Amino acid sequence: MPFQFDYEEAYSRNIGWVTEQEQQILRGKTIAIAGMGGVGGVHLLTLARLGVGAFHIADLDTFEIANFNRQAGATMSTLGRPKVEVLAEMARDINPEINITSFPLGIDEHNLSEFFTGVDLYVDGLDFFAFAVRQATFAACANLGIPAITAAPLGMGTALLNFLPGKMTFEEYFCLNDLPEEEKALRFMLGLAPARLQFGYLVDPTRVDLAQHRGPSTIMACQLCAGVAATEALKILLNRNKVLAAPHGLHFDAYRNKMARTWRPGGNNNPMQRLALSIAKRHLSKLANPAPTRSLEVMESAPGSVIEKILDLARWAPSGDNTQPWRFEIVNDHQLVVHGFDTRDHCVYDLDGHPSQIAIGALLETIYIAASSHGLRTTIQRRVNLPETTPTFDVSFEPDPQIQADPLIPFITKRSVQRRPMRTRPLTPEEKHTLEAAVGDAFRVLWLESLGSKWRTARLMFANAKLRLTMREAYEVHRSVIQWNARFSEDKVPDQAIGLDPLTTRLMGWVMQSWKRVEFFNTFLAGTLAPRIQLDLIPGIACAAHFVLMAEHEPQSIDDYVETGRTLQRFWLTAAKLGLQLQPEMTPLIFSRYVRKGLKFTGNDSIKNKAGQLAAELNDLLSPSPASRATFMGRVGAAPVAQARSLRLSIARLMTRG
Ligand X SMILES: Cc1cc2nc3c(=O)[nH]c(=O)nc-3n(C[C@H](O)[C@H](O)[C@H](O)COP(=O)(O)O)c2cc1C
Write b or e for each residue in 490-503: b if 16 or more Cβ atoms lie within 10 A of its Cβ, otherwise e.
eebbbbbbbbbeee
**72 Cβ partners below 8 Å, 6+ apart?**
41, 42, 44, 45, 87, 90, 222
Is residue 419 a contact residue for ligand X (CB under 6 A)?
yes
> Among the candidate windows 41-49, 356-364, 428-436, 592-600, which touches ligand X by CB under 6 A?
356-364
The residue count for binding ligand X (CB under 6 A) is 20
Which is closer to ligand X, CB of 297 or CB of 321? Answer: 321
Is residue 321 a contact residue for ligand X (CB under 6 A)?
yes
Is residue 319 a contact residue for ligand X (CB under 6 A)?
yes
Is residue 101 a contact residue for ligand X (CB under 6 A)?
no
Decide: 142 and 163 in contact? Cβ < 8 Å: yes
Amino acid identity for residue 603 in this structure: G
Which is closer to ligand X, CB of 37 or CB of 318? Answer: 318
Beta-bridge partners for 445: 549
Write b or e for each residue in 382-400: b if 16 or more Cβ atoms lie within 10 A of its Cβ, otherwise e.
beeeeeeeebbbebebebe
Q: Which of 88, 351, 362, 465 binds ligand X (CB under 6 A)?
A: 362
Give least dist CB 358 to ligand X, A. Answer: 4
> Which of positions 258-297 make contact with ligand X (CB under 6 A)?
none
> Which of positions 425-454 make contact with ligand X (CB under 6 A)?
none
Give least dist CB 498 to ligand X, A. Answer: 8
Is residue 359 a contact residue for ligand X (CB under 6 A)?
yes
Task: Give the 3-state secondary structure of 259-318.
Answer: EEEEECCCHHHCHHHHHHHHHHHHHHHHCCCCHHHCHHHHHHHCCCCHHHHHHHHHCCCC
Is residue 324 a contact residue for ligand X (CB under 6 A)?
no
Is residue 646 a contact residue for ligand X (CB under 6 A)?
yes
Give least dist CB 411 to ligand X, A. Answer: 12
Q: Determine the number of helices (DSSP H) and then strands (DSSP E) in the chain.
A: 24, 20
Residues in the chain: 658
Is residue 531 a contact residue for ligand X (CB under 6 A)?
no
Give least dist CB 552 to ligand X, A. Answer: 20
Is residue 574 a contact residue for ligand X (CB under 6 A)?
no
Which is closer to ligand X, CB of 170 or CB of 326? Answer: 326
Nearest-angstrom CA–CA distance, 545 and 436 = 13
User: How far is Cα of residue 165 from the mean position of the Cα atoms in its chain?
Assistant: 35
Which is closer to ligand X, CB of 194 or CB of 584? Answer: 584
Which single residue brings its beta carbon nearest to ligand X? Answer: 318
Is residue 587 a contact residue for ligand X (CB under 6 A)?
yes
Q: Which of 392, 416, 581, 631 binds ligand X (CB under 6 A)?
A: 416
Is residue 82 a contact residue for ligand X (CB under 6 A)?
no
Q: Which of 322, 372, 496, 534 binds ligand X (CB under 6 A)?
A: 322
Q: Which of 215, 247, 318, 494 binds ligand X (CB under 6 A)?
A: 318
Selection from 150, 189, 384 nearest residue 277 by Cα: 189
Nearest-angstrom CA–CA distance, 578 and 45 = 65
> Which of positions 450-509 make contact with ligand X (CB under 6 A)?
493
Is residue 373 a contact residue for ligand X (CB under 6 A)?
no
Q: Which of 583, 592, 602, 631 binds ligand X (CB under 6 A)?
A: 583
**Residue 149 burial by CB count (10 A; 0-12/13-18/19+): exposed, middle or buried?**
buried
Is residue 532 a contact residue for ligand X (CB under 6 A)?
no
Nearest-angstrom CA–CA distance, 339 and 305 = 19
Is residue 358 a contact residue for ligand X (CB under 6 A)?
yes
Q: Which of 51, 320, 325, 527 binds ligand X (CB under 6 A)?
A: 320
Query: How many Cα atoms sit within 13 Å of 414 on the Cβ side?
Result: 16
Which is closer to ligand X, CB of 156 or CB of 618? Answer: 618
Which is closer to ligand X, CB of 264 or CB of 468? Answer: 468
Q: Where are the alpha helices (DSSP H) in 128-218?
A: 131-144, 170-174, 181-192
Which is closer to ligand X, CB of 49 or CB of 382? Answer: 382
> Among the candidate windows 82-90, 353-361, 376-384, 511-519, which touches ligand X by CB under 6 A?
353-361
Write b or e for each residue in 312-343: b if 16 or more Cβ atoms lie within 10 A of its Cβ, otherwise e.
bbbbbbbbbbbbbbbbbebebbbbbbbbbbbb
Beta-bridge partners for 191: none
Is residue 584 a contact residue for ligand X (CB under 6 A)?
yes
Is residue 562 a contact residue for ligand X (CB under 6 A)?
no
Which is closer to ligand X, CB of 268 or CB of 416? Answer: 416
Q: Which of 355, 375, 527, 555 binds ligand X (CB under 6 A)?
A: 355
User: Would strands 645-646 and 488-489 be described as parallel, antiparallel, or unpaired?
Assistant: parallel
Which is closer to ligand X, CB of 51 or CB of 588? Answer: 588
> Which of positions 16-75 make contact with ligand X (CB under 6 A)?
none
User: How far is Cα of residue 238 from the mean position of the Cα atoms in its chain?
Assistant: 37
Residues that bind ligand X (CB under 6 A): 318-322, 355, 358-359, 362, 416-417, 419, 493, 583-587, 645-646
